[in-house]
Every structure is written in structure tokens, then in C-alpha cells.
Amino acid sequence: VTIRRSDYAPPAFLVDTVELDFSLDPAATTVRARLALRRNPEAAPDAPLRLDGEGLALLEARLDGAALPPERLEFGADGSLTIQDPPEAGLLETVVRIAPEKNTALSGLYTSGGNFYTQCEAEGFRRITFFPDRPDVMSRYTVTITADRALCPVMLSNGNPDGSGAAEGDRHWVRWVDPHPKPSYLFALVAGDLVNVHDQFTTRSGRLVSLNIWVRRGDEDRCGHAMDSLKRSMTWDEEVFGLEYDLDVFNIAAVSDFNMGAMENKGLNVFNTKYVLASPESATDGDWQGIETVIAHEYFHNWTGNRVTCRDWFQLSLKEGLTVFRDQEFSADMGSRAVKRIRDVRGLRAAQFPEDAGPMAHPVRPDSYIEIDNFYTPTVYQKGAEVVRLIHTRIGPAAFRKGMDLYIARNDNQAVTIEDFVAALQDASGVDLSAFMGWYDQAGTPELAAADRYDPATRRYTLTLRQRMPPTPGQPRKHPLPIPVAMGLLGPDGAELPTRLEGENAVQAGTRTLLLDQAEQSFTFEEVPAPPVPSLLRGFSAPVRLKGVPRDRLRFLAVHDTDPFVRWESGQQYAASVMLEMVAAQQRGEAPGFDEALAEAVSNTLAAAEADPAFAAEALLLPGEGFLADQMEVADPVAIHRVRRHLRAEIGRRCGAALRQAYGALADTGPYRIDGRSIGRRALRNACLAYLAAAGDAALAKAQFDSAGNMTDSLAALSLLADTDGEAREGALAAFHARWRGDDLVLDKWFSIQAMAARPDVIQAVRALYAHPDFDLRNPNRARSLIGAFASGNPAQFHDASGEGYRFLADAVIALDLINGSMAARLVGPLGQWRRQSAERGALMRRELQRVLDTPNLSKGTFEKASKALA
Ligand code: ARG
Ligand code: ZN
């Protein structure tokens, strides 16, 4: 069934208060729910009282104390319950039985390692009790949990604690009251044998908040960074947005079986252990940064998501795009803004651009879905954040802050729409933002091109910008979007030229933002002393593809631009253009050449690296295989891989001395530290190591692996050794496994590295790992670490001409769909990219998609992904 945005209707009944009594038992938990219902005055007067439900065994149903006779209960095929002849208002009481230990979908209430956890967003609450499970029904919750004292010494839910005591036999109870009304997707319950790391925070207005991170016994000493990130997030949100925490406790529980990264349940965030636990020995620098970002993200949802929530799931980006924007800004403030921006753009291009160019392309605010779970996408999250950033750029930071204040003041405790968000920013800024709604409604990545002309006689310089947007499924025709183009002009010596845009009355230095809001527009600059080189899209001021910048300008900008993003970007685009040409040569059967400028760029980067090692590390990396494939009409993953490998080896050889010198000089001397500079130095050093290994020096990687004192260096070396042949490889992988087999998160890395190795026998190795005793399809992190890493992280092998990679993925998806449909749907994605592959590969991919689609009892989510991919 397709759900459409245009079909929205307000809920028939509202639920003012909810009382939930859980009696926990892994095999048979009972849930008693008392809902104070009343008809919604805004809804049709005869709308039925329908409660969502899924897989619930109903034991009792009463209305205002009286048992409801069976003829007033109508069960839908989807598991829902409709009450016939509903009253205008009343107290509905139901008791249901569920089996958390049998819940392998990890949606609703489930067990992991003997403890109880919930995941309700988007539609998991209906797997716990009968309820109008939609975000525009907001209620106050009181939750009482009873369980065996030994099995569940700790029992948590949303809000503040409100009493506890002994219960029958060996059982005990606790009560939680959440004073803030919330939708059901923010409900959470966690219970089990957990220990907490405790700290506290005093808000600006003096509220003392108890902070706790709940983990399995033994994990306590790996929570320090998460706690520190939480406190910094709380301070930052007060300082930057004036937003304070609003309960007496903030709990975080970490669980190792979790479908996504984390979940912002009110007062009780539930996290994948991957985004909580870290020690220098076991976590990479990337892991540390991931923890900081995700902790901040979930904390920031308390206002953007929880206090102000979504009216319906089409508005998902209202909370997700905005909250990603906020966590990006937080991380930028914590470290290097330029490097953070580069990483975010890299991520956007790796995941979102291909999505926008593929069968699942959808607007930031989708028009329809079959399974909402499939729309927790890079488009809704990352592109959604870019759209918020566009508005931020358009109206400026001060007006943006005023707009946020207004947004929250107007919409607190309400479930609202993206229009409400844009309206607040528009009203606060006085800038007409109506055209920006196009960014929410049109799928696809706009292409931007520039042409320019300089007239020495009049000293006028004209810049013509043009946008076009390719069609996407269901949207054949597009209209132009407002594109803020942050830009500057560089003189022939590389210095920034002060300029005067026609109509302005003074010459002005530095970046200015042009607004391109038509298909084509010209901008004329006056009193320009010499023919300039335009620096466009500074800071990546819009999520577009800037095309056709000539190579000589790219080289010039990569060296001279004042904007670090454009410097990095120009180097990447230059390399990409060289590499794509090499791919074409390779396809014609010509021997690969080499562009000296690439080696020169590496030498220059190394020479200047000391000033900003993290930036240098970004600049040193060649464009990724996926990024290159995304720029080809018909991708050639194998040729791309060969070219990239060849280039890396050439650069490693030609710049060997400089790379070796930098590698030596960048070695950590003092104790291990995770500040930005140390992280940057390690990243740069490992980038040097990778070039040297590509040029054939495996001994250096082996030496680093043997002596590494932290996971970043150890893993960097291991992933290089994994690409080689022979004893060093086998020895390192075995040693790593032996050392870390008790640590799930590290073992995931061991699986991933092998799945992503550049070796001809990878598919067999992946099949063998799938059968490895440490592999567990039911654990989402483990499934991702092997299946996802192979299909998304190893394009050359996944797209092997034999089709074996596709066959493996389809086999895994079919097996996983029976266990966890939502995970299966997520992993099937790479098969959907068949249109961008050769005819032969495309046919093999379609055959596997069809095999998935022909599987009986396929989950809704996997069905949606596979059928849309084939359509
Ligand atoms: N709201 C959560 C977050 O952004 C993610 C929830 C994802 N849920 C899902 N069904 N995919 O952190
Ligand atoms: Zn989120």
C-alpha cells in the first residue's frame, strides 16, 4: 500500500494521557495500557476509532471499566484494532502479550544479551500496544515497569523517576513520569542488568540534571568520551541556540543489537554501542568523531524533534535535516570548520548524490512511500541539512537564530510541517523564502555551469551562471531553484580582487553570495583591473554539481584560493578529471599515462602540511571510486579501481622520499591524544603510509601494525596489509582476530577490512566469512560489517563480471529479510544502481533483484526497494 502525503487527514481521536504497565518477561511480557481518548474536534465527526497494532495478542479490552464485547472489536489484516460505536471520550484499557525474545526485527520491545530495549521510530510502538501510532498524537506518559529483581535490577523509561518498590515474589517495580507531551515514536523502555557512568550538568537557569550512561558490566571505562561529548553538546545548545535541557535526568543506554545509529527518545536516548563506547586501544579517530557527532545529534533532537515534532512522516526532514545541520555546526565549532565541511561534502557526494541519480531518488520531503523505514535516507538527512544551510546562508546567522527562536516559540509541544519551519525563518528575517520550498519538493541534484567574459576596455567582467536539473523517477520536468553561490574573484597573481557588482556603490573585498534563481543569469562586475579567475561555490554553498571548470583554473584555485573548501575541491576536481580521462584510455586499451601535476600537488601539500595536517590529509586523498563512478554515464568500477591503484602507486614511487620523510616526522612522540591536531597528524601520516604501500612497501605497514599503540594506526596498517598476498597478511589478520575476538565492535572492523580488500578472491573470502563462527546475521552491526562493507565499500569486486558479488548480496538479503526486514531493505540498495552499469552487469543485477522480489513473504520494505529498483 502506498501512503501519500496529499492524503493527510488529522487523527480521529486524541490521547491526552497514557498509562502503561509492563510486566517484563523475555518470552511473555504483558502490557496494560490505559488511554484517555477523546474525539479530535478537527477531524471528521464520524471517523472510526482505529488503533494501530502489529503482532499483538489481545487479552483484555475495556471501555470506561466495562469489558468490550467481541462484536465491538474489529481486527484488521494489518494487526490493527477498530472499536465499533466509539464514545466521544473515554478511558480505553487494553492488555496485550508480546514476546520480546522472539523479536528479531529489533523494532518494538526486544531483548539483547538478556536485557530489554525498545526502538519505536517510526512505527515500532504499535508492536508494543494498540495505539494511534502517528506523530501528531501527543500524550503525557506514565510508565510502570515490573520485573524480576535479579534479571532487571535497572528499569528505565522516559521522563523523571517517580517511585519504586517491591512486587510479588522476586519482582520489583519502578515508575517514570514524563511531563512533556510526546508522540509514541519517542517512547522508550530499557531494563536489565546494566551499570551506569554518572555525571551531572547544571543548566544556565540552574536546573541540576543527572546524566547517566547505561552499559553492560565491563564497558564502564569506555564511556568517558560520550559523557564529555554530551556535556559539551548541552553547553553548545545553550550558547548557540539558547536551548536548555528540560528534565531532571538524561539517560543514555547503549545496546549492541540496534538497527541504526541511535534514537532520541525523550530523556532516554538509546544508542548503538558503536556510538558510545571508545578507548584509544579499541576505537579509531573516526569512531571518536562519530561518537561526538551522534551524541550531539540525539541530544539536539530534544528541541528539534521532541519539543517540536513532525506532523506526519513526510515531514521527517523537519527534524532530521535541521538536527543534522545543528550537529554539523557543533562539530565545526569543536574542531576545524573547513575540514568538517570537506568531510560532510565528501559524505554527501558518496551517498546522497548517487541516491538522487538512482531509482530511489526522492525529494527531501517525499510525496509517497510504502515503508517509511526506507526514507531514513541521505536525502532526508544530509541533503535536508544542506537545505537548512542554504537558508542559513541566504538570511545570515543572526536572522537564522531569530528564526529558530520564533520557530520554537510558535510550535513548542506541537507536531508541525516544513512550511511552519520555513515560515518562521521567513517572518523573522523578512526575506521571501517561498522559492526555497522547491528544494524540499524536487528530487535530483542541480547542475551548475559558469561562463565568463572580461572586457579590458571597460574593465567589466560578466559571469553567467546556468542551472539545469536532470529528471528523476516521477518528476520528468523540473523548475529552477534558488541557488546561493558564494564566490570571489582572484587576480592573475592569485590575490583576491576587491570587486563591485553592478548596482552596488562601493568596491568590496572578500566573499559575496550571488543568488541564482533562474535557469540562467548574468552578473556584471565593474572596475575589475585584470581578467579574474572566479572562485565559485565557496564552502560548498549549495548541494549542486559544478561542471565544466577548465583544468588550468582548477590548478590555479587549488593553489591560490582563500577559501579552503574551494582549494580542496579544485584539487579533487582536477584529479577526478585526470582520472576519468585515464579510465577512458584504459577502456580503449591504451597504456595508462601519468600527469606530473598530481605528483607536484602531493609534494606541495606535504611541504605545507605542518600548518594544518588534517586539511593536508584531505587534500592528499584521491577522489574515491564511488565519486568517480557517479560522474560517468556508464560506470566502469573495475577500470576505475585499476586507474586509482595505478595512480596511487605512481605517486607513491615519485614522491617516495617526501612521503617517507613526512611519515617519519609525523610519528606521535608524547602520549596518545585525540585533539584535532593529533587526529590530523595521524590521518596525514596514514595517508603517506598508504601511498608508500601502494608503491610496494608492505614492510612499513607491517612494522606499523606490529608496533601500533592505538586502533587508528593499527587499522590503517591492517587494511593495507589486507590488500597484499602472503604471510604478513595472514599473520596480521590472525593476530588481530586473536587479540580482539571478545570485542564485538573491533571484530566488526576485522570483517569489514577483509570485505573491502582489493584482492581477486574477495568474493570467496566474503562467503567464507559469512559462514565464520563469529558471523551473526541477526546482529545489525555484524551484518553491515560484512555484507554492507562488501557491497558498498568494494565496488570493483562487488561488480565483478561473473555476477558472483550480486548473487552473494541477493542471497544475504533473502536470508536477512526473514529475520529483520528493515536491515534487509537497507542492504539491498547497491543492486538498485544497475542503470549506471554496463548492459551485461545491469542484466545480472536485475536478475538478482528479480530473485529477491520473487521471494515469498518478502517484507514491505525490501519489496519497495527491489520493486522500485526494477521499475
Ligand atoms: N531518529 C533517529 C536519529 O536520527 C533515527 C531513527 C531511525 N529509524 C528508522 N526506523 N530508520 O537519530
Ligand atoms: Zn536524527
| Segment 828-863, tens digit of pLDDT | 999 999 999 999 999 999 999 999 999 999 999 999
- Residue 376 CB less than 6 A away from ligand 1: yes
* Ligand 1 probe mutation, 54, 186, 260, 375, most atoms within 8 A of CB: 260
Q: What is the pLDDT of residues 10-41, one digit of tens each?
A: 999 999 999 999 999 999 999 999 999 999 99
Cell numbers describing residue 410: 510558535
544 close to 595: Cβ distance less than 8 angstroms: no
E strand segments, 399-538: 414-416, 447-455, 460-468, 483-490, 500-501, 512-516, 520-526, 533-536
Tell me how far the alpha carbon of residue 380 lies from the centroid of ligand 1, in angstroms. 11
* 356 CA distance to ligand 2 middle (Å): 20
Distance 758 CA to ligand 1 centre (A): 33
Proximal ligand: closest to the CA of 269: 1
- pLDDT value, residue 601: 97
Catalytic residues: 298
Q: Considering only CA atoms, which residue is closest to atom 5 of ligand 1?
A: 263
C-alpha 761 chain-centroid distance: 31
Where does 539-625 show beta strands of DSSP type E? 545-547
Q: Residues in the chain, how many?
A: 871
Q: Looking at residues 41-51, what average pLDDT do you find?
A: 96
> From CA 447, how far away is CA 528, in angstroms rounded?
28
Q: How many CA atoms lie within 13 A of 5 on its CB side?
A: 17
199 near 227, Cβ under 8 Å?
yes
Backbone angles phi, psi at 141, to 5 degrees: -110, 140
Q: Considering every ligand atom, which ligand is closest to the CA of 260? A: 1
Cis geometry, peptide bond prior to residue 122 (ω within 30 degrees of 0): yes
Confidence (pLDDT) at 53: 99
Alpha helices in 41-110 (DSSP H): none
Residue with CA at minimum distance from ligand 1 atom 8: 121
* Chain mean position to CA 441: 20
Cell 560506470 maps to which residue? Answer: 635
H or E element, residue 683: helix 676-694
What is the CA(208)–ligand 2 centre distance, in A?
A: 26
DSSP 3-state of 307:
coil
Tell how far the Cα of 297 is from the centroid of ligand 2, in angstroms.
6
Quickly tell me which residue has 593553489 as its cell: 559
Pocket of ligand 1 contains residue 385 by CB under 6 Å? no
Report ipTM (2 d.p.): 0.98
CA dihedral over 277, 279, 282, 283, signed as positive or negative: positive
Distance CA 550, CA 555 (A): 9
What is the CA(253)–ligand 1 centre distance, in A? 15
- The reply to whether ligand 1 has any atom less than 6 angstroms from the CB of 263 is yes
Give me ligand 2 centre to Cα 131, in Å.
23
Starting from the CA of residue 325, give the closest ligand. 2
**pTM of the shown model:** 0.99
At residue 691 the predicted structure's pLDDT band, cuts being 50, 70 and 90, is very high
Pocket test for ligand 1, best of 54, 110, 120, 121 (most atoms within 8 A of CB): 121
The number of the ligand nearest the C-alpha atom of 275 reads: 1
Nearest residue (CA) to ligand 1, atom 1: 263
Is residue 122's pLDDT more than 90? yes
Q: Is 844 in the pocket of ligand 1 (CB under 6 A)?
A: no
When pLDDT is averaged across residues 61-69 and rounded to a whole number, the result is: 98
Name every residue whose Cβ is closer than 8 Å to that of residue 718 and which is 6 or more positions away in sequence.
705, 732, 733, 736, 753
Residue 320 in contact with ligand 1 by CB distance below 6 A? yes
Dist CA 768 CA 625 (whole Å): 25
262 ligand 1 Cβ < 6 A: yes
Question: What is the CA 495 to chain-centroid distance, rounded?
Answer: 38
864 lines ligand 1 (CB under 6 A): no
Kindly tell me if the per-residue pLDDT of 60 is higher than 90: yes
CB of 322 closer than 6 angstroms to any ligand 1 atom: no
Cα 262 to ligand 1 centre (Å)? 7
Whether 260 lines ligand 1, by a CB cut-off of 6 Å, is yes
At 377-427, the pLDDT tens digits run 999 999 999 999 999 999 999 999 999 999 999 999 999 999 999 999 999
- For ligand 1, say whether the CB of 190 is within 6 Å of any of its atoms: no
Tell me the per-residue pLDDT of 85-106, one tens digit each, with 9 for 90 and over.
Answer: 999 999 999 999 999 999 999 9
CA–CA distance, 620 with 536 (Å, rounded to integer): 22
How many Å lie between the centroid of ligand 2 and the Cα of residue 262? 8
Residue 264 CB less than 6 A away from ligand 1 = yes
Is pLDDT of 132 > 90? yes
**CA separation for the pair 490, 528 (Å, rounded):** 10
pLDDT of 669 reads 84
Q: Taking residues 142-164, what's their average pLDDT?
A: 98
Tell me how far the alpha carbon of residue 376 lies from the centroid of ligand 1, in angstroms.
7
User: 749-772 burial, b for 16+ CB within 10 Å, e for fewer?
Assistant: bbbbbbbbbbbeebbebbeebbee
The closest of 649, 563, 535, 672 to 602, measured between CA atoms, is 649
**3-class SS letters over 794-829:** CHHHHCCCCCHHHHHHHHHHHHHHHHCHHHHHHHCH
Q: Work out which ligand 1 atom sits closest to the CA atom of 320.
A: 4
pLDDT tens figures, 262-313: 999 999 999 999 999 999 999 999 999 999 999 999 999 999 999 999 999 9
Three cell numbers, residue 603:
609534494
Residue 241 · residue 402 · CB < 8 Å: no
Q: Which of 303, 370, 376, 381 to mutate to test the pocket of ligand 1 (most atoms within 8 A of CB)?
A: 376
Query: Please, what is the average pLDDT of the chain?
Result: 98
Q: What local confidence, expressed as pLDDT, does residue 68 receive?
A: 98
Quick one: cell of 286?
A: 573516526
Handedness of CA 602, 606, 607, 612 (dihedral sign): positive
Cα(first)–Cα(last) distance of the chain, in Å?
A: 16
Is the Cβ–Cβ distance between 216 and 194 less than 8 Å?
yes
Q: Which atom of ligand 1 is least distant from the CA of 261?
A: 12
Residues with CB under 5 A from ligand 2 (ion): 320, 323
The bridge status of strand 268-272 relative to strand 249-255 is parallel
Q: Which atom of ligand 1 is nearest to the CA of 305?
A: 1
Banded model confidence at residue 670, pLDDT cuts 50, 70, 90: confident
User: Measured from the CB, is residue 298 less than 6 Å from ligand 1?
Assistant: yes
Percent of the chain having pLDDT more than 70? 100
pLDDT at 668 over 90: no
Mean pLDDT, rounded, for 797-808: 98
Nearest CA to ligand 1 atom 2: 263
DSSP state of 603: H
Q: Which ligand 1 atom minimizes the distance to the CA of 107? A: 10
